[in-house]
């Protein structure tokens, strides 16, 4: 850390660090905008994260692919059977297929969203689910409402596109006008805070993330042996060097990153807190021990009502 | 400095077994349904859920272990949706829809149904009387030759032949195919009439009028050739169900349009939501009615060539639908 450009009034913060901090705050704001608080009847708060438009579109693409696989599979099956039985019933078979396609297009979503997981296979693949906005139970009516609207949200723009392709000039202008109008429905989710489709609005639902998180072992459990504790005795000043943000970064490093990164991080922490490396001390053991010490210190301060958000946070 | 362990570590150690147990129960319920849970699990569930929720609140204030908090957030969300979510099976939901939801939604929307009826049958009457005065109107409404040559230039014999099926004719599968296409078209029109109600019901009104005009002009063609009675039988054997369904779909659109235009004391959004769910139930019912209409059309109309039988079926189906929707019944208290 260089301390060349020190802004007035905040000693110890370089320009670069201040910038990064601002960027982090902006990121937190962005995440916060996508988070909604649900208060359970027990009075506890659960934070729900809304699915982004990109995730919704991705889930939809997967669902459409599955539907087409079903519909085309049935079509091929029918062609094959007709090849064996003769072509006399071709018209009837095609009409049947059209009806089948209608039902797949609409009831695919309804069937899966009424089900236990309240999510279509596409949504499930991306860890999304449908929920009511008021936290109540998801009724069949709501699922029907949000999915019947899809026929307009998607069907109408397509209808106008086909109308424009097949019509004369006047019809073309009409179609263009209709397309613009119907695109309001199509792009509705982009323009509202809750990322709702028109169907969601009408049904009182939204789509949230419901990832299945795994509980991993506590990092501090590795360091709980007495001899390890005796080896890494950090002074209070050393344990005060960082804040909550750095603690969380360190947790990610310990859980996910490669040995090389761990080595670099350990080196930087040793420099910062002035820790002399003892013989036989591994980077991993050092990082785990420092993590435990830092977390203990920060949690103690938190109990007293002080949240040291990051290393620049000097408190009041 | 390392004599005592972390508070958050001890906190986690004491509760972890319960969290994992809740996780296991939820995973089992999500994968194989409520029935896969033992009685023991079911009784443990509320306690475990409450504990997980309170663990989450405590963890937020004492623990800085990101993983624990993320895990508890996800666990509590899953548990909340399971504990407070609907646990009825698909079969139960369908039965409830047929027994209560659907007739209740329809009988609760008499006003919008009448409005839709006015637009739809107004369209029919308008086109009918215009065409009766001057058949050129037919060509105004339909600039291409639709309907397989059923237009004012057709002969009486030809028109008559379209009403009755010749038993020796082998084109029956084509007629069944036609009913399939018609179902597809009607179902789309119904869903559009429902969904476009969102724009204050104006597109719904237009759709109803437009479809009414189509039927009315065709009606005039047959009427002018003195085939009014026969055509009515041909149309009404399935038409009672079909036209009723389209009228109801229009009513569903008007329910939404009315709620959006005149929200009353509610916010516009709440009003739209309350109406949207009711209207969706009606729209779902329309799809069912259209399936029945398509079956009546595809099979009934081809097999039954007697006018009396056709009128009887039309009358009976009208009576049955009205009785199903509007007759007060016991146990309607929700």
Residue A87, pLDDT > 70, answer: no
CA distance B225 to B138: 14
Q: Answer whether A46 sits within 8 Å of B12, measured CB to CB.
A: no
Judging contacts by C-beta atoms under 8 Å, the chain A residues touching residue B84 are 40-41, 135-137
pLDDT of residue B174: 64
Of A202, A234, A248, the CB nearest to B256: A202
ipTM reported for the complex, 2 dp: 0.82
Cβ–Cβ gap B6/A155 under 8 Å: no
Q: What is the dihedral of CA A137, A140, A141, A144, to 10 degrees?
A: 130
- Nearest-10 crossing angle of helices B228-261, B172-195: 20
Distance (Å, whole) CA B70 – CA B287: 43
- Assign A65 a pLDDT band (cuts: 50, 70, 90): very high
Question: Which pTM does this prediction carry?
Answer: 0.82
- List strands edge to edge, sheet with A35-39: A35-39, A45-50, A205-209, A128-132
Average pLDDT over residues A82-88: 72
Among A residues 232-261, those touching chain B with beta carbons less than 8 Å apart: 232-234, 244, 247-248, 251-252, 255
pLDDT at A225: 65
Considering Cα of B323, then B325, then B331, then B333, what sign does the dihedral take? negative
Listed in sequence order, the residues at least 6 apart from A224 whose beta carbon sits closer than 8 Å to its beta carbon are B5, B9
What residues contact B64, with CB distance under 8 A and at least 6 apart? A244, A247, A248, A295, A298, A299, A302, B8
Distance in Å, alpha carbon of B90 to nearest chain A alpha carbon = 7
Across the interface, whether the CB atoms of B188 and A151 are under 8 A apart is answered yes
pLDDT band at A167 (very low <50, low <70, confident <90, very high): low
For chain B, which ranges sit under pLDDT 70?
1-4, 86-87, 143-149, 151, 165-176, 330-334
Structure tokens at B10: 């001890």
B6 with A292: Cβ contact below 8 A: yes
Determine the distance in angstroms separating the CA of A7 from the nearest CA of chain B, rounded to an integer: 30
Give the distance from CA B204 to its chain's centroid: 15
Q: Is residue A304 less than 8 Å (CB to CB) from chain B?
A: no
pLDDT of residue A51: 92
| Residue B188 to residue A92, Cβ atoms within 8 A | no
pLDDT score of A184 more than 50? yes
Task: List the single best residue of B56, B73, B195, B302 to mutate versus A (max A Cβ within 10 A).
Answer: B195
Q: Mean pLDDT across chain A, nearest whole number?
A: 83
**How much is the pLDDT for B51?**
92
Distance between CA A219 and CA B311 in Å, rounded? 80
List phi, psi (to 5°) of A208: -120, 165
Instruction: For an interface test with B, give the residue of A37, A71, A145 to mutate (most B CBs within 10 A).
Output: A145
The confidence band for A223, taking pLDDT boundaries of 50, 70 and 90, is low
Which chain A residues have a beta carbon less than 8 Å from that of B183? 99, 102
Q: Which of A99, A255, A299 sits opposite B64 (nearest CB)?
A: A299
Say whether A44 and B276 touch across the interface (CB within 8 A).
no
Instruction: Name the minimum distance, in Å, from the CA of A103 to any CA of chain B.
Output: 10
- The residue that leads in pLDDT, A278 or A256, is A256
Q: How far is B170 from chain A (nearest CA, A)?
A: 10
* Cβ–Cβ gap A99/B184 under 8 Å: yes
- Within a 10 A sphere around the Cβ of B15, how many other Cβ atoms? 18
Mark yes or no for CB contact A145/B280 under 8 Å.
yes
| pLDDT single digits (tens) B289-323 | 998 988 888 777 777 778 888 888 889 999 999 99
Q: Give B311 to chain A, closest Cα distance, Å.
A: 27
Task: State the nearest Cα–Cα gap between A286 and chain B, in angstroms.
Answer: 14
Q: Which residues of A touch B61 (CB under 8 A)?
A: 302
Question: Is the pLDDT reported for residue A84 higher than 80?
Answer: no
Annotated domain spans of chain B: 7-87, 92-326
> Across the interface, do B67 and A215 touch by the CB < 8 Å criterion?
yes
Q: How far is B113 from chain A (nearest CA, A)?
A: 19
**One-letter-per-residue 3-state SS of A43-95:** CCEEEEEECCHHHHHHHHHHHHHHHHHHHHHHHHHHHHHHHHHCCCCHHHHHH
User: Quick one: pLDDT at residue B143?
Assistant: 61
Chain A residues 158-197 with CB within 8 Å of chain B: none
Question: For residue A286, what are the contacts with CB-CB under 8 A and spacing of at least 6?
Answer: A232, A266, A269, A270, A275, A277
The distance of B256 to chain A (nearest Cα, Å) reads: 9
Tell me what percent of the residues of chain A surpass a pLDDT of 90.
15
Q: Which residue of B has its CA nearest to A127?
A: B74
pLDDT one-digit tens code per residue, B29-47:
888 877 788 888 888 888 9
Q: Which of B228, B78, B87, B284 is nearest to A106 (CA)?
A: B284
More confident residue, A212 or B251: B251
Please report residues of B whose CB lies closer than 8 A to that of A38. Answer: 80
Give residue A39's Cα distance to chain centre.
21
φ, ψ for residue B172, nearest 5 deg? -60, -40
Nearest 10 degrees: Cα torsion B302, B308, B310, B311: 170
Q: Domain boundaries in chain A?
A: 50-209, 219-303
CB contact under 8 A, B77 and A210: yes
**Inter-chain touch B33–A42, beta carbons under 8 Å:** no
pLDDT at A5: 45
């Amino acid at each position: 850390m260089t301390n060349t450009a020190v802004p007035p009034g905040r000693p110890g913060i370089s320009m670069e660090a201040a910038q990064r901090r601002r960027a982090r705050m902006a990121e937190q704001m962005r995440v916060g905008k996508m988070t909604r608080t649900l208060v359970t009847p027990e009075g506890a708060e659960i934070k729900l994260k809304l699915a982004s438009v990109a995730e919704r579109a991705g889930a939809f693409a997967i669902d459409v692919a599955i539907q087409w696989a079903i519909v085309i599979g049935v079509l091929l099956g029918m062609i094959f059977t007709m090849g064996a039985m003769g072509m006399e019933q071709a018209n009837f078979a095609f009409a049947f297929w059209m009806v089948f396609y209608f039902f797949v297009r609409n009831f695919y979503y309804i069937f899966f969203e009424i089900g236990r997981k309240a999510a279509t296979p596409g949504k499930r693949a991306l860890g999304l689910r449908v929920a009511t906005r008021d936290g109540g139970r998801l009724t069949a009516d709501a699922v029907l409402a949000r999915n019947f609207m899809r026929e307009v949200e998607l069907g109408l723009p397509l209808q106008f596109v086909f109308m424009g392709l097949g019509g004369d000039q006047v019809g073309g202008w009409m179609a263009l006008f209709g397309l613009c109008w119907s695109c309001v429905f199509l792009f509705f989710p982009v323009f509202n805070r809750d990322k709702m489709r028109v169907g969601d609005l009408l049904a009182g639902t939204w789509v949230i993330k419901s990832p299945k998180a795994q509980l991993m072992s506590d990092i501090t459990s590795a360091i709980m042996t007495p001899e390890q504790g005796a080896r890494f005795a950090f002074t209070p000043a050393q344990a005060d060097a960082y804040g909550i943000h750095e603690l969380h970064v360190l947790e990610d490093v310990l859980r996910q990153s490669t040995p090389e990164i761990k080595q670099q991080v350990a080196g930087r922490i040793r420099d910062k807190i002035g820790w002399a490396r003892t013989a036989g001390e591994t980077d991993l053991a050092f990082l785990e021990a420092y993590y435990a010490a830092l977390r203990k210190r920060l949690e103690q301060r938190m109990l007293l009502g002080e949240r040291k958000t990051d290393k620049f946070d000097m408190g009041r | 400095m390392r004599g005592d362990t972390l508070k958050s570590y001890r906190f986690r150690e004491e509760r972890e077994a319960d969290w994992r147990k809740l996780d296991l129960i939820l995973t089992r319920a999500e994968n194989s349904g409520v029935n896969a849970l033992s009685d023991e699990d079911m009784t443990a569930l509320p306690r475990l859920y409450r504990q997980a929720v309170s663990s989450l609140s405590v963890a937020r204030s004492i623990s800085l272990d990101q993983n624990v908090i993320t895990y508890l957030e996800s666990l509590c969300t899953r548990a909340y949706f399971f504990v407070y979510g609907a646990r009825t099976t698909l079969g139960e939901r369908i039965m409830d829809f047929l027994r209560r939801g659907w007739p209740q939604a329809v009988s609760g929307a008499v006003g919008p149904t009448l409005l839709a009826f006015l637009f739809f049958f107004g369209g029919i009457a308008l086109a009918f009387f215009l065409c009766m005065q001057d058949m050129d109107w037919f060509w105004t409404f339909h600039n291409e030759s639709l309907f397989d040559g059923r237009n004012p230039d057709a002969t009486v014999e030809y028109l008559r032949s379209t009403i009755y099926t010749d038993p020796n004719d082998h084109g029956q599968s084509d007629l069944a195919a036609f009913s399939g296409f018609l179902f597809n078209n009607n179902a789309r029109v119904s869903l559009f009439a429902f969904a476009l109600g969102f724009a204050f019901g104006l597109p719904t009104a237009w759709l109803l009028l437009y479809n009414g005009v189509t039927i009315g002009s065709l009606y005039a063609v047959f009427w002018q050739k003195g085939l009014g009675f026969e055509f009515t039988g041909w149309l009404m054997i399935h038409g009672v169900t079909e036209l009723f369904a389209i009228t109801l779909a229009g009513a569903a659109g008007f329910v939404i349009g009315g709620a959006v235009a005149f929200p009353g004391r509610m916010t516009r959004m709440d009003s739209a939501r309350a109406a949207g769910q009711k209207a969706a139930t009606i729209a779902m019912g329309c799809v069912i009615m259209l399936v029945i209409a398509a079956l009546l059309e595809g099979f009934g109309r081809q097999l039954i060539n007697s006018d009396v039988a056709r009128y009887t079926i039309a009358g009976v189906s009208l009576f049955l639908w009205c009785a199903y929707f509007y007759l007060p019944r016991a146990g309607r208290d929700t």
